[in-house]
Amino acid sequence: MTAPITFGLSSEARNLHWLLTNLVEEVPGLLSVAVVSSDGLLLLSSDPGRIAEARQAPGERPQGPRGSAADLATIVSGIGSLTIGAAKLMEFGGVKQTMVAMAEGSLFVMSISDGSLLGVHGAPDCDMSVVAYHMALFVGRAGHVLTPELRSELRKSLEAESEKETEAAGSSR
């Protein structure tokens, strides 16, 4: 995982970055983690050094969420929207967690109190109960601080970081 640039961020934003870093370091088998706003925008990523890759020309960027934080954010947002719609249609209340088990890994999506989502892409051998437990800890700690102001700050920080990466990639070619 690439360490996020937290210089100049508020203490709440730095704390969320720390929580995300801690989640990735504490849980074996996590490939990628993303926090997505209720409107589908990436707010935090365990792979910040690859956000700009989503803007590259077709054929140049790696495939799937292993290669792009933006891809994982899109998948998490779509699954979150689908499950929220299904829960409303079935009148079963709010969605707490969604898990998709695949042959080559798992995808976990958990709701955060403000409508944002935490998404985790895990390796095939990750312990699903450990992943779910640590995701719940993250959500419990992050949910009360993820205000509209903090979401805006995180989004602006990601955009600035992405622009710097794009400029650096352009100057190295």
- pLDDT 10s digits, 63-111: 444 446 778 899 999 999 999 999 999 998 888 899 999 998 999 999 9
Neighbouring residues of 155: CB distance < 8 A, sequence distance ≥ 6: 37, 41, 42, 43
> 108 near 97, Cβ under 8 Å?
yes
- CA atoms in the 13 A half-sphere facing the CB of 79: 22
Reported pTM: 0.80
Cα(145)–Cα(20) distance, integer angstroms: 14
Domains of the chain (ranges; CATH) run 20-54+62-171 (3.30.450.30)
Q: Which residue has the tokens 């995808």?
A: 107
Of 10-24, 56-70, 108-122, which range is least confident?
56-70
β partners of residue 100? 107
CA max distance for the chain = 54
> How confident is the model over 145-161, as pLDDT tens digits?
888 888 888 888 887 77
